[in-house]
Amino acid sequence: MDLVWEDMLEKQPIVSKMVMNSINKSRISHAYLFHGDKGTGKFELAQLLAMSIFCKKRTTLDPCHECSDCRRIKSGNHPDLHKIIPDGASIKKEQILHLQKEFTYTGLESNKKVYIISQAEKMTDNASNRLLKFLEEPSQQTTAILLTENSHAILSTIRSRCQMIAFKPLNPLQLEKSLQSEGLTEANARLMTAITNNVSEAIEKSKDTWFAQARKLVVQLIEMLQHNRGEVPIFVHTQWMPHFKERSQLQEGLDLLLIWFRDVVHCHLEETSAIVFANHQDKLEAASMFWSLGHATECLQFIMEAKRKLEQNVHPQLVLEQLTLQIQR
């Protein structure tokens, strides 16, 4: 599906309005710095802006998507649009020098030129200084678009020469919709939205066998806490801890446990539309019969306290053992 400004307005309303206004008034900046989390639409907006700049057939803000300029931008073959990505771990001086050389030539089809630098925070010091020199001598018809997840890692002198545009995290409904359009089921999209606000990370997790097993272990722990309390310490020692080896992994396990008990609370309050573990409705109803609303709310506090203890470097197995005892009380 061809991306249009209406799509970007839904995803990033404030940012899109700013850029659309610039196009409308023919006041496109010579340099932009798009900064925000991974998966928030920085590259999509950069490409849409480039298409709006180059498309000769557009009659509105939207590019036509059919002319040779639009088609070549989408296929990555436009002669006057240059994209730079890290070469290995960094963006090197030679890449910026090559860009400068390319820009000394007259545009092949017009005098307009656009370059997009992805992960701009990965420029080496030499590359940053070369880019700074380039930005200090802007051509009337050249537009630079720098993309970054960490604007503070970019030279302040570069930042001061760019129009800074902050991309906000996606709202949950928009994120769910984006994930479903990427092929995730409604239930999976909802769970991933509860775990992360990042489209790319959510898609990655949905395919991750480690994460799939983590979800299974959470459901198993819940059932054991209800039906086989005496075996919980053995389960924690032999199955839970070997899977959640790192503190960061254990935090993810606790996040899933937190979501489960929130769902139990939603069950009690009959807020079915808010339930995340929608695939386990029968198990959630059984859990809501086992844990009262008051106890489920207490469990949420116990889990939050366990997460804090992990951050304070308390021994992970002790944290889990104490937590399961609190939940059983």
CA 156-160-163 angle, 5° bins: 130
Q: In the structure, what pLDDT confidence band is assigned to residue 177 with cuts at 50, 70 and 90?
A: confident
pLDDT of 278:
86
pLDDT in tens, 56-84: 898 889 999 999 999 999 998 998 999 99
Top CATH class, 5-169: alpha beta
Place of tokens 């054991």: 224
pLDDT > 90: what percent of the chain? Answer: 70
5-169 matches 208-328 in fold: no
* pLDDT score recorded for residue 40: 86
Amino acid at position 71, single letter: R
- Tally the residues of the chain: 329
- Work out whether strand 113-117 and strand 163-166 pair parallel, antiparallel, or are unpaired: unpaired
pLDDT, tens digit, for every residue of 209-248? 999 999 999 999 999 999 998 999 999 999 999 999 998 8
pLDDT 10s digits, 257-269 = 999 999 999 999 9
- β-bridge mates for residue 144, sequence order: 31, 115
Secondary structure tally for the chain: helices H, strands E: 17, 5
Whether residue 273 has pLDDT greater than 60: yes
Which distant-in-sequence residues (6+ apart) come within 8 Å of 246 by Cβ? Answer: none
Q: How far apart are CA 27 and CA 97, in angstroms?
A: 27
Q: How confident is the model at residue 1 (pLDDT cuts 50, 70, 90)?
A: low
Q: Spelled out in words, what is the top-level CATH class assigned to the domain 208-328?
A: mainly alpha
Give the pLDDT confidence score for residue 108 in this predicted structure.
58
Question: What's the mean pLDDT in 152-173?
Answer: 91
What tokens were used for 94?
A: 């030679």
Residue 103 one-letter amino acid: F
Instruction: Tell me the three state secondary structure of residue 90.
Output: strand
User: Domain extents for the chain?
Assistant: 5-169, 208-328
The Cα 159–Cα 33 span in angstroms is 7
Residue 218 · residue 242 · CB < 8 Å: no
Q: The whole model's pTM is what?
A: 0.65
pLDDT computed for residue 119 by the predictor:
95
| pLDDT, position 172 | 83
